[in-house]
Structure 1
Amino acid sequence: MSVDTATVKRVAKLARIAVTDDEAKNLEGELNTILGFVEQLNEVDVSNVEPMVSVVAVDMKKRVDEVTDGNKAADIVANAPASDENFFQVPKVVE
């Protein structure tokens, strides 16, 4: 895959970056070099590589999947200026 100046300008516009024509030419070369390195990854044989979550073989910690309220209601309203039975109290703003 090759990137041309028009593509560089389009990507810059999407990223909301102002790019001059000279900068676009420089970025075109840099992006093509980066894409060349990425294409080299396609040459690596990964057919015998098992998908990993981590580079170290570790079993994932699992918890019981149960629905709770978090048991944190009192902690959540602890810093509120006013609360009543774990609910925030706010002044009336609509009459």
Structure 2
Amino acid sequence: MKAQHLSIIAIGSLALTACFDSKQTQDNTTAAHTVNWYLAHNNQLDDTLNRCSNNPAKYRNQPDCINALQAANQRSAGELHPLHIDVDKLPKHHGWK
């Protein structure tokens, strides 16, 4: 009799644990936007990057933050950034005038 109750409790606990794990995984995967979605929605990309960078300890492993960061890297890849060279600080002996 005791073994029967124990096995019912064990099976019930296992079933409940499996339900909670799958629900949490489904919520995390359905809420995340893809990298391509962020590339098409610049305002949401900027908002997500601000949220994630404001509290990296909380959001570091969130799929939205990872995808937004990847989209930002792709968005900025290949862009030219101006170089600010102070000509007065260049060495004179290497041919700089």
TM-score (norm 2): 0.28
Which has the bigger relative contact order, CA under 8 A and spacing at least 6?
2
User: Which of the pair is proportionally richer in helix?
Assistant: 2
